[in-house]
């Protein structure tokens, strides 16, 4: 897998060694979340977390909330982004950057 920086005048290319099972895991995640690539999934995950943080900023410091309300917020707002973040970490956690001409250590 090769990536490049698209936002600068100079590009950087990196080569990654990934376990063969990661390719199938990636396909499953892309299908599960209906996205084209895992970078799109990162963007969606970030957007969901930003929405949660924005909502939480609007709670008054003195607001009283019972455990049921907090649980409902967590279930409805945080479950999907937490699962997405977990899946992304699982996907890229096994990547190893390869130096040109060097085989990475196992």
Helix or strand run (H / E) with residue 2:
strand 2-3
| pLDDT for the residue 92 | 79
Encode pLDDT of 40-92 as tens digits: 988 988 898 888 888 777 777 777 777 777 777 777 777 888 888 888 888 77
| pLDDT for the residue 31 | 93
Q: Where are the alpha helices (DSSP H) in the chain?
A: 20-33, 38-57, 67-73, 79-92
pTM of the model: 0.58
Per the CB < 8 A criterion, the answer to whether 90 and 9 are in contact is no
């Amino acid at each position: 897998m090769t990536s490049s920086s698209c936002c600068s005048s100079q590009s950087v290319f990196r080569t990654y060694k990934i376990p063969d099972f990661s390719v199938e895991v990636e396909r499953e995640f892309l299908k599960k979340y209906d996205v084209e690539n895992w970078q799109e999934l990162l963007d969606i995950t970030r957007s969901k977390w930003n929405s949660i943080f924005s909502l939480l900023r609007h709670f008054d410091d003195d607001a009283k909330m019972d455990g049921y309300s907090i649980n409902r917020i967590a279930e409805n707002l945080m479950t999907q982004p937490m699962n997405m973040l977990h899946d992304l970490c699982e996907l890229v956690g096994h990547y190893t950057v390869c130096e040109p001409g060097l085989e990475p250590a196992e």
